[in-house]
Amino acid sequence: MYRVIFAAGARPNFMKVAPVLLEIRRYRSIKSYLVHTGQHYDKNLSKIFFNDLNLPVPHFSLGIGSGTHGTQGARVMMEFEKIVQRHDPHAVVVVGDVNSTLGCALAAVKTRCMNARYRPLIAHIEAGLRSHDWRMPEEYNRRLTDAVSDMLFTTEPTARKNLMREGINPQNIYFVGNVMIDSLKRSLKRAQESRVLSRLKLQEKSYAILTLHRPTNVDERQRLRNLLAVLKKITRILPIVFPVHPRTRKMLVEHNPEHKFLTTVPPQGYLDFLKLMMHARFVLTDSGGIQEETTVLRIPCLTLRENTERPITVTKGTNILVGADRERIMDAVGRIMEGKVKKGTIPKFWDGRAAQRICKALHNRLVSSW
């Protein structure tokens, strides 16, 4: 029996790990465990996400909570190391690019280095994505996690090129597609049943959605004010629904800019937010995963950044990089309102079967290694 530990700690991680946990049950020779690091620690919202995604109750909850990047990383490493030493897994699977991703990968590989009896392979789901923007803490998490991983599961062809440039053995790179889309496709029918539109008194295609949480957008007072100024102009055309991330709410209180023109709501569960996206006229975001989801939903996406680690959403999808430039944003909004939308196509392997490819590759590697 092969023991495999899956580690997740933030809401986007749950979306990526859920279909893999479901698929791995088909392999009777594999016993899987879920570790929730608690990096995103809102109990109510975590419970909603687990219910929406049909995730099992975690076998282990580390309760890391908030803190600086160094503090979070250190706590994750200390607590996850105990799990690895106690249960001696054959593989540790990490997802995404948050602090928990890197902390768990480092704890696993260092445990292996310190004592030869510990053996976990480290597998990274969503490997090889690069923004080339060193102001983003996620860029460090991505690169360092990939550097210590034995299996690197990629979502798009450019990821392989990035990994090859960084000296990763090509035999360890697996192009499997986008597991986020597995969750999306599995959830579409249930999301349609959500009553979030009636609760918020919204009509289909009569509103836009905004998500904003990147430090470069919300921590810098002037940039945040500039963004809000252009968002105010957009609300003269149609309302903007703004689920406010806890980090962003903190900055709005600290910087105290005018933002009452936005329809602010609490962070939404997965199914409710998916319903909101499905019926929005367009989405404004600085999130990575939303760029992917809107591409598959064929919803126009305006990314409030100068770069993206998901370039395929621009070259093939519905994503447009507009940064914080008022003219670029308003020009893109104007074109959408005129019906001149970017149609886009769905990238290869974004087909709802990425988890199948991941689990098959993981099983084969475990069998060949032991």
Instruction: Name the residues annotated as catalytic.
Output: 213
Q: Which two tokens stand for residue 194?
A: 């959500």
In what side-by-side order are the strands of the sheet with 173-175?
Answer: 60-61, 30-36, 2-8, 91-95, 121-125, 151-154, 173-175
Say if residues 16 and 126 touch (Cβ distance below 8 Å). Answer: yes
Using CB atoms within 10 Å of the CB of residue 70, give its burial: 0 to 12 exposed, 13 to 18 middle, 19+ buried. Answer: exposed
Residues 6+ apart with CB under 8 A from 36: 8, 9, 46, 58, 60, 61, 62
Backbone angles phi, psi at 141, to 5 degrees: -60, -45
238: which 2 tokens?
Answer: 């149609």
Tokens of residue 368, six digits: 């060949």
> Rounded to 5, what percent of the chain is helix, strand, coil?
50, 15, 35
Strand order through the sheet with 282-285: 263-265, 240-243, 208-210, 282-285, 301-303, 319-321
Are the CB atoms for 320 and 221 separated by under 8 Å? Answer: no
Return the amino acid letter for 172. N
